[in-house]
Structure 1
Amino acid sequence: MLNNKEKIDELKNQIRSSNFESYQYIGSRSKKLIGTMYVKQKMDYGFHIYYIHEPSETDPLAGKNGTISEMFYDLRNKKYWIKRNLKDVNFSVRNVDSIFPKDYDQRVEIFNLLSTKANQGLYNSALHFLGAMGKEQSEMFGRFFHRLITEYSYFELLYKAGIKIDSNTYVKNPNGKSPMEILGLSKTQWKMTNKYKLSIGTFNKLSNDTADQQLINYLDYIKTLEQEYGLEKVQEFLSNEKSYLYGEHVYRSRPAIEIAKRYNLPIKHFIRYIYFECDVSQGLNAYAALSDYADYIRMTTEMGYERFDRYPRFLRTAHDIASRNYKIKLNEEEMKEWETSYQINKQYEYSYQGYKIFPPKDPSDLIKEGNVLGHCVGSYVNKVRKGTSVILFLREREDVESPLVTIEVKGNCIAQARGKMNNPPSNEQNVIIKKFAEKYQLAI
């Protein structure tokens, strides 16, 4: 009966004489053979390998007689173990690392040896994702192989589905049996992600079947318009409309769908106008077109116009004309409401580095601001009176009569800041606005 050492030597001889694919680790300095990896089996989702470590006087893992390690690694079924000299050892980072070379440059050969045609590139991609995270400096074989199967085994399914993930990817169910389950996507969201080549983070933590169906219908319509106009608008549409459809209430701009519903406009006709016609004939991107249109239709509606062009060929011109014609005369009761709002808004008076921020005292101050800067803040009189918006002026302390930047605060957020002709504030002015936001704990 063979003793343990004899059994180990016999196993080494069997492996060396097998037809297993192999790879020799040669020391970069000593140029001596350190060990040899033998691949007993490789699968689309893992491998079964041996590693024979040559005897060493200095390496305790090898010892004077050398060692043989066996590693089984099955990502799909999450089965993994390591044996050393026929005995089970912990599946630890250190024990995994002992099976692989310390020379990072050998990774290409090792990954090629362990990979099948179906999972080519999987291990290299996982190494870059998991080999070094946070403040770790170097990418380690053992660390990434250990993390991949103990914490991130879903990486294999996502990789094969062509999904690129990073540390910001939201994973709802790490044990899911499909990419859709892992990422927590509905069938319609999964269909949209693939059909329109959307970022995998498009639907992070969003769950709303009604919104899913509405969005895919709108995207189908956008695609037909893209072909008609020769423009790509899917991402721009998502950026402006997705939050509204899913009820997130945090909008990059006024959503076209919300404006259409509020003013009883045919939604698809309005989408065509804002996203395509304004771009092709007027050179306006959707963000600018929506901003101008929201003010334009509000002003014309508040002025009681029964007949006005709902789809002006020159939106900016129509907007500016409406702004100049927009006159609000408050009655006695409304002026009392204005004064109440003004007293509340005075809390935002602020001075910093030669600049001053303060609210308008009279409705006429808003009219003047809009006329001088060439934007439509003069039409915000009722918003300020009702307290739905706070309008503030940014001016130089030594010249408070000369408008520079108009700021709108809604809730706990700076909704917009516009200079002359709706241009953004200068870098210096942005610094002041940021300091102001920090003082009053406002999001920008």
Structure 2
Amino acid sequence: MAQRTRRYLIRRVTVVLLTLFVVTLLSFLLMRLSPVDPATAYVKRNSAVVTQEQIDEARVILGLDKPLPVQYFDWVVDALHMDFGISLGTGNPVTEELAKTVPVMADRKKYQASIPVIFWIEEQYGANEAMFFAEKLVQSGIMELDFNQNGYSYYERQVSHDPGWFLNVMASPYRINLRRFIDYILFDLYAQGYASVTKSFFVEYLDYLEMQQKFYGKVKEKYPAHFKTEHDIMALKVNQARLLAKCEDFEQQNESIKDLAYSGSGYCIVVPTKPEELAEEGINLSHCVGQYIDRVAGGECHILFLRRRGAPDRSLVTLQLSGKQICQAQGFNRRPITDQERRFLVQWGREKDIQIAV
């Protein structure tokens, strides 16, 4: 049995060596049969005037003056030492030219983790989409990608075949566009200052989408231009909305003042109907909702919005109504109202029997 195995291995090794010999010999002969003389090309690259003396000297430098079998032997030995000679086109070592076209394997933190994702994309979306991801991956400046969900690094264990967080995002109910998401994690995030896209990003990204869904009833922005900032703002809105959840009778309370809604010269008065609208107003204008949440919850006051008539959904000024009096009016960063805004409020107050005390 051992003798049979030995003979089999000898045959296999012999076949491999013969195959290598034939392949290298053919490669060498094809280069030598080229109609372009390497020595002449070498001289032309370095000199405007070509003489026979220069060509002869170049043949010596390139080893072309030796017999063909010796040239072949030298070429094989150099190739085994990863020395493929000098490029006739650029004059640089061939290994340097090859390195420019092949991804640096020092970037294995980017490429290794992407292998299962490429296979998964090919299986789910086809070869074209897998190639799109691979091409963008090479072009991206991102240094590290990690889609793993298991708490250890890809680079400490054998490569998994699970696309991990990438699959989680694509399988989410938020209808993420494959190519747009690839561009987002490989280019948009890099432009935002990300060098690594790892588990922490994917967790926050799915959290960001979920918060929008719960807060707005839909996802308004899937690929934010400033992800960290937008995520933190969204979290603040949700937290303030939780505070406002104390207002159990908020809609019923505001039903009693719905007649105060008004549209006039350049401006309008909006009566909010949901606690989430107060949270968003507070974030947009840099107000602290906690300052008046207890009073709103206790029915001591109401909150109204002063908006521009042409942009009724865009925050401008928050009004606090106590009884029949506007006792507080603040714009962005607590700015006081302008004379034009005051004139509008006075006009509105006359028609609705509301005193403007700001």
Note whether the superposition's TM-score is higher than 0.5: no
The two structures have a TM-score, normalised by structure 1, of 0.33
Between Structure 1 and Structure 2, the one with more strand by share is 1
The two structures have a TM-score, normalised by structure 2, of 0.39
Q: Relative CO higher for 1 or 2, CA cutoff 8 Å, sep ≥ 6?
A: 2
Larger radius of gyration: 2
